[in-house]
Structure 1
Amino acid sequence: MKPHHAAPGQSDEWFTPPEIFEALGVTFDLDVAQPETGRAFLSVPCRRFLTVSDNGLTAPWNGFVWMNPPFGGRNGVVPWMRRFMEHGNGIACVNALTSSGWFHEFVPHADALLFPRGKTKFIRPDGTRGNSPGNGVVLIGVGMQAVEALAYAHRKGFGLNTMIVDGEAA
């Protein structure tokens, strides 16, 4: 089992580590998929949030959004990515599954991508760090505010040497 992928009977709720938000240097208007429990360990700089009880796939989204959707299920990210791209203003943290169909469906419509260095160790609902996952993540940005935040993180050395902005290496 990959540590940040849910197994049957286990939680799919994992928290984004604070170093991602420190690197981005922004405050989000809305976190669209915040875990129900363990908020004491959350570090998402956001004004408002939605949980599974609020159904972030159907609830209204506004402003600059942060999305760390449930990673469980083979194509569980697809409805989240569809909604995210339709909204068009935010940053999504998803598995860097570059050979998957959903990756090829949505990434060409992104304004910026940033692949954090190394493997992101997510925070468990009890506040401890997970082990190194089986694969890395990518931060997908849509909209000018996302491009600026990802470029800022890139300049600080947070991501790989190449950031894709509108199809061109930066």
Structure 2
Amino acid sequence: MRRRKPRSFQRVYQHHLETAPRTAEIPAVDGLPINESHPVGFEGLYATPEATGYGKATCAKCGETHNGWTPIRAGQWKCRCGETTNDDQMQIVGKAEYDLEQRLKRNGKSNGHKPTPTTDPPADEDWTNDEWYTPADIIQRVRAFMGEIDVDPASCDYAQRTVQAKTYYTRQTDGLIREWHGRVWLNPPYSYPLVERFTVELLRQYRQGIVKEAIVLVNNRTDAAWFQSLLVTAEATQFVSGRINFERKGLQTSANRQGQVFFYVGSRAVEYSMAFGDMGAVMRCMWGQKKA
């Protein structure tokens, strides 16, 4: 007898949503409903029947952004590459895009015509699903503190409407192969391995004296090696209170599900603390490997 191929969790759950009554229980993992054992991933990937599978998540190991994640033991998800990620570290993308698509469909249906996008994607779009633009109020603080931003090594034309760095590099001009002279603002792509490559390059150029000082904005990933390298090199580390409302072009919400951290790399940690202290706790590095 020919054996049937096992169905994926996503297909099973989609079938459950389509056929089960509204009062049916949510599927369980390790004896817990997945909305309790995997709340972040559940909300982003499976929360509503009409949006089943709309969300995608970025794997910190392979760097790919996709759906089809498998919930395993309570609080963890398994990527297609085999790597596991804690639920509270899932970088979910796609919900805002899905909501926008549904609004366009509804508007098109009511108007009797097929909806069309209001704007075309920019030609210089850098990293798919990695476009998290820093709010203008934060950039104003950075500029006021450093005087000017000499280099933004991971940027695009759209972001520079706010950042206004003297020199900036995009995906096409590749900041990873350039020298970042002077004062640097770095809000790197958050997917792996790009976030590691940019932060490692920053520290390398700082140790060589090319970068004079820098402010780095990244997700709170204390378990990552690149994060630890920043932690023991930066003169000041600031865990942001609350969530930063990043700008995403064409979307009304950033759907930010991560906490953020500022790192100040330079010799003015006290001044940094005075300028940014109201945004969260600032700690100075007193241990680890410091700049030679």
Instruction: Provide closer, same or farther for how the CA distance between residues 153 and 165 of structure 1 changes in structure 2, counting only shifts above 3 A.
Output: same
Instruction: Provide closer, same or farther for how the CA distance between residues 153 and 103 of structure 1 changes in structure 2, counting only shifts above 3 A.
Output: same
Which residue number corresponds to residue 140 of structure 1?
A: 263
**Aligned equivalents of 2:177, 2:201: Cα separation in 1:** 9
Runs of 4+ in 1 over 6 A off after TM superposition: none
The match for 1:31 among 152, 160, 171 is 152
**Aligned equivalents of 2:175, 2:236: Cα separation in 1:** 23
Instruction: Provide closer, same or farther for how the CA distance between residues 112 and 129 of structure 1 changes in structure 2, counting only shifts above 3 A.
Output: same
The match for 1:7 among 65, 69, 86 is 65
3-state secondary structure, aligned to 1:77: helix
The match for 2:138 among 13, 16, 20 is 20
- Unaligned runs of 5+ residues in structure 2 are 1-43, 45-54, 59-63, 67-126, 207-212, 288-292
Normalized against structure 2, the TM-score is what?
Answer: 0.48
Normalized against structure 1, the TM-score is what?
Answer: 0.79
Task: Write out aligned runs for 1:1-170 (5 A).
Answer: 7-8=65-66, 10-24=128-142, 25-26=144-145, 27-36=148-157, 38-39=158-159, 42-73=161-192, 75-88=193-206, 89-126=213-250, 128-131=252-255, 133-145=256-268, 148-154=271-277, 157-160=278-281, 163-167=282-286
Instruction: Provide closer, same or farther for how the CA distance between residues 90 and 79 of structure 1 changes in structure 2, counting only shifts above 3 A.
Output: same
> Offset at 1:22?
3.1
Instruction: Provide closer, same or farther for how the CA distance between residues 39 and 97 of structure 1 changes in structure 2, counting only shifts above 3 A.
Output: closer
User: After superposition, what is the alpha-carbon deviation per residue over 1:13-58, rounded to whole angstroms, capped at 9, x for unaligned?
Assistant: 221112222333232111111135x347x42142221111111111
Q: Which has the higher helix share?
A: 2
- Matched positions, count: 160
3-state secondary structure, aligned to 2:176: coil
Q: Select the structure with the greater relative contact order (CA < 8 A; seq sep ≥ 6).
A: 1
**Aligned equivalents of 2:130, 2:181: Cα separation in 1:** 25
